[in-house]
Structure 1
Amino acid sequence: MDKATQTMIDNLAKNTGKTLEQWIAIVTKENFAKHGEIIKFLKETHGLTHGFANLIAHKAKGSDAGSAENPDELITKQYQGKESLKPFYDKLMSTIAEFGKDIEIAPKNTYVSLRRKKQFATLNPATKTRFEIGINLKGQEPSGILEAEKPNAMCSHKINLTDISEINEEVMGWIKLAYNNAG
């Protein structure tokens, strides 16, 4: 398990008075089908932050990289039916890897989280024709291709791509800025 996830699990017990296992038992009893239903329940019924609710939801559903036997399987699964978007991921990752050796790649069921000391970006084949990059740049005004994300989202901004040629200096500049701010 990565250090950031372990810290969150440790803080979960300190901040909520319940361990991860206790929260998973609460969620399991409710028999939710979807990740989003778990998050909504935990935030609205128990007042948890989005980060803690997301952690519990992933652990309860076994949809995080730490729960997967092979994290690469999660990435493969993300692109089933969206194969045309896999080159977007490959191109982005090859350039992002040049930023530094301190990037943690954490695949989830539907996206890949990129972290240093904290998450700086997510890579998500959102639909069959749209690739979404989530970026954490709190306080940054949306500009150019950088759009504001809805409140309480895992990232503060997003960039939507529909053609691989849109992965350009502007896109990589925003990701690099988020990377630098996350260190």
Structure 2
Amino acid sequence: MDKATQTMIENLHKNTGKTLAQWIDIVKAQNFAKHGEIVKYLKEQHKFTHGFANLVAHKAKETDAGSVKNQDDLITKQYKGKEHFKPIYDKLISEIQSFGNDIEIAPKNAYVSLRRKKQFATLNPATKNRFEIGINLKGQEPKGKLEPEKPNAMCSHKMNLTNIKDIDKEVIDWIKTAYENAG
């Protein structure tokens, strides 16, 4: 288990008085079918932040990178039916890895988390028509391709792409700024 996840698990216990295992038991007792239902429940009924709710949901559904034996399977699954977005992912990963050798690429069930000391971006083939880059740039005014994200989302901003030509200097510069801020 990576250090960031371990720290989150420890903070979950400190902040709520319950262990991750206890929270997993609580959400499993609710018989939720979907990840989003667990997140909504924890945020609305137990006042979780999105990050903690997402952690518990992933662990309860065993869809986090730590629960999967082969992380490549998660990426393959993300692009099923959205294969036309895989070149966008590949190009972004190639560019992002040039920022430094301290980047953790952590595939999840529906997206890939990019972390340094903390998460700085997510890569997500959101729909068949939209590839979404989540960016953590708290306090940054949205401008250009950088749009605000919903309140309490895991990222503060997002950028939407539709094809590989949308990856330009602006997109890479925003991701690099988030990377630098996460160090």
Give the corresponding residue for 2:156.
156
How far apart are the structure 2 equivalents of 1:153 and 1:47?
Answer: 14
Between the aligned partners of 2:143 and 2:50, the Cα distance in structure 1 is: 26
Structure 2: stretches of 5+ with no match in the other structure: none
1:90-115 superposed Cα distances (whole Å, 9 cap, x missing partner): 00000100000100111111000000
Superposition deviation, residue 135 in structure 1: 0.3
Determine the C-alpha separation between the residues in 2 that align with 1:164 and 1:177.
21
Q: CA deviation at 1:88?
A: 0.3
**Separation in 2 of the partners of 1:81 and 1:43?**
31
Alignment of 1:46-65 (within 5 A): 46-65=46-65
CA distance in 2 between counterparts of 1:54 and 1:27 reads 12
* 46-55 vs 100-109, greater mean Cα deviation: 46-55
Residue identity matched to 1:67: S
Q: How many residues align?
A: 183
Per the alignment, residue 45 of structure 1 pairs with 45
SS at match of 1:31: coil
Give 1:131's aligned residue: 131
1:1-183 to 2 correspondences below 5 Å: 1-183=1-183
Question: How big is the shift at 1:6?
Answer: 0.5
Per-residue deviation, residues 51-100 of structure 1 (Å, max 9, x unmatched): 11110000001111001011111011000000000000000000100000
Distance (Å, rounded) in 2 between the aligned partners of 1:13 and 1:149: 28
Give, in angstroms, the shift of residue 14 of structure 1. Answer: 1.3
Q: Give percent identity, aligned residues only.
A: 77
Gaps of 5+ in 1: none
For 1:171, the aligned partner's letter is V
Per the alignment, in what secondary structure is the counterpart of residue 18 of structure 2?
Answer: coil
TM-score, normalised by the number of residues in structure 1: 0.98
Question: Runs ≥4 in structure 1, deviation > 4 angstroms?
Answer: none
Question: What amino acid does structure 2 have at the position aligned with 1:118?
Answer: K
Secondary structure, aligned partner of 1:66:
helix
CA-atom RMSD, angstroms? 0.7
